[in-house]
């Protein structure tokens, strides 16, 4: 079908994926946005010769050079095809990579935007950049990729001097952007360049990044202000807009010789502008907000339909976009509302609008209950006494220890007996009365039970093994409590639907109880403490053959992996590289390994990593496909200089030869493009 399209139409189709957005090209931060590229837009040119011929102009419109190899390839392409240079309009050079860039610019008369970095080290080759300065006449120049401590060497000083010499000769120059500031000190080279810019007669706009709140006028601004040709100075910053408005703007206006306060524009990192917009006229108080202030929506609709529509509107209005506390003080009538699910304060206000809103919101809010203290339980019981039909609507309940009244929880037990539709429950601790009440009402529906006690002060509490008899539908049990489970299970078929077991703080009797069960559907085990790993070793010896996913925060024991021959996913969060975990282990079904281990490049740490990588052989792990690093550190090098020092590309290539993909915390893999 594509061969029937005219070249003009095909060019319009192929151009969008080849265009580089200006926010990426002109990015002035310390990390190049092109260092995280996961694919090459130029792949469309490899489809056929016609596509290459049609799309080549769009490909060369923006040139990004990030390594010596790319610079040589670009230079060779322009040298062999000088006509390609006429297509080039924007050039971004992220280092000093030799003479090729200067040679290429000899054939590129249409360059309008030039982006470069002054972070040049002693092993750089800036001669090509200095030649490029003499052969271009850009309208916009951007400095990028700053570092906290700028390097000091003769090559960098020579490049800065060459740029300062070239700026006055660029008669088309109208815009200049300084790099994003790193730290609390300005780069001395920026001051030198600012002095030259103050004398440029064609300069119209300057962008300056502010890393912190200055007490006075920033030095760069103070240097450039005398240039009468500059019409706008953009002050880019992060969350200091209020400081600029209150402290800096009056001084800027006073320092401006023309008194033109429109010359300064504050831009925060989200892109919002402050350009002194004209204030809009205030609305007239004599005009009603609606044509009829007594208008009532859906006046002719049946009342059940009105309630259904209003109920959905109110539910959407009070739900939180993401789970997280809305942080507010609630009245007694709504103190039981889960403020991690609902905007409780707004819901409280809506319930005061009318009796209908109150009546419609109560079934919505009661779906998720959060009992912080005993008074919350009493308030909810009072509501259920008035509207008993609401009890079956409770689907999740969280109960803090203060609501248990010393661990007894009589009122909570009474409430749980009424919640027949409960599917997820979190308890601060357990007792026979709580579990029996929960199992008798919702045991046939409860899917997730979490017992989470943050302290051992309730260690005297205990529950009998028979309390778990009614939990026939439970698929996930999370246990973090020092409560003791007394006795053996009445039948080993208890918790027969359990698939996920998560254990943190635990006592030995609990593991003795859970080990005695059959657990035919068990597939996931999560061990969150040293005690859990210690007691869990016996548990895994019996049930490890069913486990397909194993997660552990502390280091695992020597035989834990050997007890799980069907393991498919291994998740380790100990923070310490553990090469002693894999010797002698063979897991034929293991597909993924996720580790939260230190990736710091200290010699001892890297030695441990090399041992781990050498053990991930095809014979021991024939099904292994993914090895993911979950640490907070970025492991992939972003520049040619970093690649030479980083061991991670070599690790990625080593695993790739065995069919394993090494990915960082964001899922990004190594792409050897530089």
Q: Is the CB of residue 480 less than 8 Å from the CB of residue 493?
A: no
Q: Is residue 385 part of a domain?
A: no
Do 122 and 265 lie in one domain? The reply is no
Last residue of a domain, one of 154, 173, 203: 203
CATH number at residue 150: 3.80.10
Angle made by CA atoms 61, 65, 66, in degrees to the nearest 5: 145
Cα 166 to Cα 227, 228, 339, 502, distances in angstroms: 18, 20, 60, 65
Do 194 and 71 lie in one domain? The reply is yes
Binned at pLDDT 50, 70 and 90, residue 501 comes out as: very high
The half-sphere exposure of 672 on its side-chain side, counting CA atoms within 13 A, is 10
Q: What is the DSSP string of 514-545?
A: HHTS--TT--EEEE-SHHHHHHHHHHHHHHGG
CA distance 496 to 488: 16
* pLDDT at residue number 218: 81
Residues paired with residue 100 on neighbouring β-strands, in sequence order: none
Do 124 and 13 lie in one domain? The reply is yes
CA distance 292 to 179: 56
pLDDT in tens, 139-175: 999 999 988 888 899 999 999 999 999 999 999 999 9
* pLDDT at residue number 144: 93
Last residue of a domain, one of 271, 295, 322: 271
CA distance 541 to 558: 12
Flag whether pLDDT at 344 surpasses 90.
Answer: no
Q: Is residue 257 part of a domain?
A: yes
- Helices 344-351, 303-318: crossing angle, 10 deg rounding: 150
Q: Is the CB of residue 342 less than 8 Å from the CB of residue 318?
A: yes
Q: Is the CB of residue 113 less than 8 Å from the CB of residue 138?
A: yes
Pairing of strands 273-274, 264-267: antiparallel
- The tokens describing 242, both together, are 């209020």
Flag whether pLDDT at 275 surpasses 50.
Answer: no
CA distance 226 to 582: 68
CA distance 513 to 406: 25
The total of structural domains in the chain comes to 2
CA distance 567 to 438: 33
Q: Residues with Cβ < 8 Å from 168, sequence gap 6 or more?
A: 196, 199, 200
Q: Is residue 131 part of a domain?
A: yes
Do 176 and 240 lie in one domain? The reply is no
Binned at pLDDT 50, 70 and 90, residue 674 comes out as: low
Cα 508 to Cα 243, 432, 504, 513, distances in angstroms: 58, 19, 12, 9
Do 116 and 163 lie in one domain? The reply is yes
Over residues 603-630, mean pLDDT = 93
Question: What letter does residue 220 receive in the DSSP assignment?
Answer: H
pLDDT in tens, 392-420: 999 999 998 777 765 557 889 999 999 99
Cα–chain center distance at 144: 24
Last residue of a domain, one of 221, 239, 271: 271
Flag whether pLDDT at 528 surpasses 80.
Answer: yes
Do 131 and 183 lie in one domain? The reply is yes
Cα–chain center distance at 53: 40
H or E, element range at 355: helix 355-365
Cα–chain center distance at 139: 36
- With H, G, I as helix, E, B as strand and everything else as coil, classify residue 115: strand
Flag whether pLDDT at 584 surpasses 90.
Answer: no
* pLDDT at residue number 240: 66
Binned at pLDDT 50, 70 and 90, residue 246 comes out as: low
Q: Measuring CA to CA, which residue among 566, 573, 474, 570 is closest to residue 528?
A: 573
| The overall pTM is greater than 0.85 | no
Please state, for a pLDDT cut of 90, what percent of the chain lies above it.
51
pLDDT in tens, 355-395: 999 999 999 999 999 998 888 999 999 999 999 999 999 99
Q: In this predicted structure, which of 88-102, 394-408, 477-491, 611-625 has the lowest mean pLDDT?
A: 394-408
- The tokens describing 29, both together, are 């931060």
- Helices 530-543, 508-515: crossing angle, 10 deg rounding: 20
Q: Residues with Cβ < 8 Å from 565, sequence gap 6 or more?
A: 544, 545, 587, 588, 589
Do 179 and 214 lie in one domain? The reply is no
Pairing of strands 476-480, 448-452: parallel
CA distance 338 to 370: 5
Cα 225 to Cα 230, 243, 244, 276, 425, distances in angstroms: 8, 20, 16, 19, 64
Do 133 and 249 lie in one domain? The reply is no
CA distance 72 to 80: 12
pLDDT in tens, 659-668: 999 999 888 8
Length of the chain: 674
Q: Is the CB of residue 147 less than 8 Å from the CB of residue 120?
A: no
Do 196 and 212 lie in one domain? The reply is no
For all residues of the chain together, what is the average pLDDT? Answer: 86
Q: Is residue 374 part of a domain?
A: no
Burial of 24 (C-beta count, 10 Å sphere; 0-12/13-18/19+): middle
CA distance 413 to 573: 37
pLDDT in tens, 442-457: 999 999 999 987 555 4
Binned at pLDDT 50, 70 and 90, residue 270 comes out as: low
* pLDDT at residue number 295: 76
Do 228 and 162 lie in one domain? The reply is no
Q: Residues with Cβ < 8 Å from 421, sequence gap 6 or more?
A: 392, 393, 394, 395, 442, 445
Do 104 and 239 lie in one domain? The reply is no
Binned at pLDDT 50, 70 and 90, residue 261 comes out as: very low
Pairing of strands 626-629, 661-663: parallel
Furthest CA-CA distance within the chain? 91
Flag whether pLDDT at 200 surpasses 70.
Answer: yes
Q: Is residue 548 part of a domain?
A: no
Backbone angles phi, psi at 125, to 5 degrees: -130, 85
Q: Domain range for residue 117?
A: 2-203
Q: Is residue 178 part of a domain?
A: yes
Q: Is the CB of residue 97 less than 8 Å from the CB of residue 117?
A: no
Do 130 and 257 lie in one domain? The reply is no
Q: Is residue 18 part of a domain?
A: yes
Q: Is residue 103 part of a domain?
A: yes
């Amino acid at each position: 079908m594509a061969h029937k399209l005219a070249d003009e139409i095909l060019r319009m189709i192929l151009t969008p994926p080849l265009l580089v957005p200006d926010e990426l090209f002109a990015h002035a931060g310390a990390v190049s946005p092109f260092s995280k590229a996961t694919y090459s837009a130029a792949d469309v040119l490899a489809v056929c010769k016609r596509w290459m011929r049609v799309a080549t102009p769009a490909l060369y419109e923006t040139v990004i050079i990030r390594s010596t190899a790319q610079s040589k390839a670009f230079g060779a392409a322009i040298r062999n095809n000088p006509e390609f240079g006429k297509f080039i309009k924007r050039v971004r050079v992220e280092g000093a990579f030799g003479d090729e860039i200067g040679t290429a610019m000899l054939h590129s008369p249409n360059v309008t935007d030039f982006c470069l970095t002054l972070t040049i080290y002693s092993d750089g080759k800036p001669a090509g950049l200095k030649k490029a300065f003499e052969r271009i006449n850009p309208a916009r120049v951007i400095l990028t990729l700053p570092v906290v401590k700028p390097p000091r060497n003769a090559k960098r000083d020579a490049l800065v001097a060459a740029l300062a010499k070239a700026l006055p000769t660029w008669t088309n120059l109208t815009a200049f952007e300084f790099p994003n500031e790193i730290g609390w000190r300005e780069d001395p080279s920026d001051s030198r360049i600012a002095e030259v810019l103050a004398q440029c007669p064609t300069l119209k706009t300057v962008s300056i990044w502010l890393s912190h709140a200055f007490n006075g006028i920033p030095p760069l601004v103070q240097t450039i202000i005398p240039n009468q040709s500059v019409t706008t100075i953009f002050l880019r910053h992060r969350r200091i807009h209020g400081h600029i408005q209150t402290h800096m703007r009056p001084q800027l206006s006073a320092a401006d010789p023309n008194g033109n306060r429109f010359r300064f524009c504050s831009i925060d990192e989200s892109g919002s502008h402050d350009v002194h917009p004209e204030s809009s006229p205030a609305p007239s108080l004599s005009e009603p907000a609606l044509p009829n202030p007594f208008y009532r929506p859906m006046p002719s609709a049946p009342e059940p339909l009105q309630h259904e529509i209003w109920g959905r509107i109110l539910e959407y209005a009070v739900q939180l976009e993401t789970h997280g506390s809305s942080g507010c003080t609630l009245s007694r009538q709504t103190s039981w509302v889960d403020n991690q699910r609902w905007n409780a304060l707004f819901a409280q206000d809506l319930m005061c609008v009318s009796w209908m809103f109150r009546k419609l919101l109560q079934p919505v809010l009661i779906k998720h209950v959060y009992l912080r203290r005993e008074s919350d339980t009493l308030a909810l019981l009072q509501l259920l006494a008035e509207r008993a039909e609401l009890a079956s609507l409770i689907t999740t309940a969280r109960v803090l220890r203060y609501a248990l009244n010393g661990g007894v929880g009589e009122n909570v037990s009474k409430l749980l007996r009424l919640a027949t539709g409960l599917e997820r429950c979190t308890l601060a601790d357990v007792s026979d009365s709580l579990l029996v009440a929960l199992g008798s009402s919702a045991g046939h529906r409860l899917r997730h039970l979490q017992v989470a006690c943050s302290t051992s002060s309730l260690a005297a509490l205990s529950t009998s093994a028979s309390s778990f008899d009614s939990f026939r539908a439970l698929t996930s049990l999370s246990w973090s409590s020092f409560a003791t489970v007394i006795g053996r299970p009445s039948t080993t078929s208890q918790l027969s639907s359990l698939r996920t077991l998560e254990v943190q703080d635990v006592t030995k009797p609990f593991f003795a109880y859970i080990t005695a069960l059959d657990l035919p559907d068990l597939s996931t085990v999560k061990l969150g403490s040293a005690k859990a790993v210690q007691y869990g070793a016996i548990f895994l010896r019996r049930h490890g053959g069913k486990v397909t996913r194993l997660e552990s925060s502390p280091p695992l024991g020597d035989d834990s992996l050997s007890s799980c021959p069907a393991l498919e996913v291994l998740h380790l969060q100990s923070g310490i590289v553990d090469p002693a975990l894999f010797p002698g282990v063979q897991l034929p079904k293991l597909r993924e390994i996720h580790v939260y281990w230190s990736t710091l490049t200290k010699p001892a740490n890297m030695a441990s990593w090399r041992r781990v990588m050498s053990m991930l052989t095809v014979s021991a792990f024939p099904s292994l496909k993914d090895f993911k690093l979950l640490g907070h550190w970025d492991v992939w090098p972003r520049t040619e200089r970093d690649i030479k020092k980083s061991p991670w590309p070599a690790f990625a290539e080593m695993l790739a030869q065995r069919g394993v993909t090494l990915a960082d915390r964001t899922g990004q893999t190594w792409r050897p493009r530089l």
